[in-house]
Amino acid sequence: MGTEVPFHESRLIIARMLHDVLRFGHGAFAELPFIEAVETTMIATAILIRESDGRPFSTLGLAKHLQMPRATLVRRLSILASKGIIRRDTHALRINPQIFASPTRDAAIRRLRQIVIDAGTALSKMDT
């Protein structure tokens, strides 16, 4: 199995990493069904990235970027706002920086970072 698939081992390492990251991320929204938790995580990360780039999203811009129906996006944004993860101002969606100020969040980012490092290490060994 797998020898007929190009880059099988690389694909497998990346698939495991993605699986672990998504499964771990579901814990932040454990009250939601898995796919809704993934959508909510994607929304939060898109907001974080764009805000960090100095170009925060509007709700409409984010809906277009994620190719997500606006009604679905608004429901997910309500969840994020109720948890204090995002803030909405008149023209932009922003991450609440206070959510990162806790030992639990520090442990979570260290765990996610380690998942990525382990995958990178495994991939780099394939090139030697």
- Residue holding tokens 């608004």? 74
At 3, the pLDDT band (50, 70, 90 cuts) reads low
At residue 128, the pLDDT reads 64
Provide the whole-model pTM. Answer: 0.85
- Least confident stretch, 2-11, 55-64, 78-87: 2-11
Q: Coil, helix or strand for 88?
A: strand
- Fold classification of 8-126 is Arc Repressor Mutant, subunit A (1.10.10)
Distances (CA, A) of 88 to 12, 49, 77, 80, 82: 39, 16, 9, 10, 11
Tokens coding 100? 């990162």
Tens-digit pLDDT profile for residues 78-88: 999 999 999 99
Q: Can you give the residue ranges of every domain in the chain?
A: 8-126
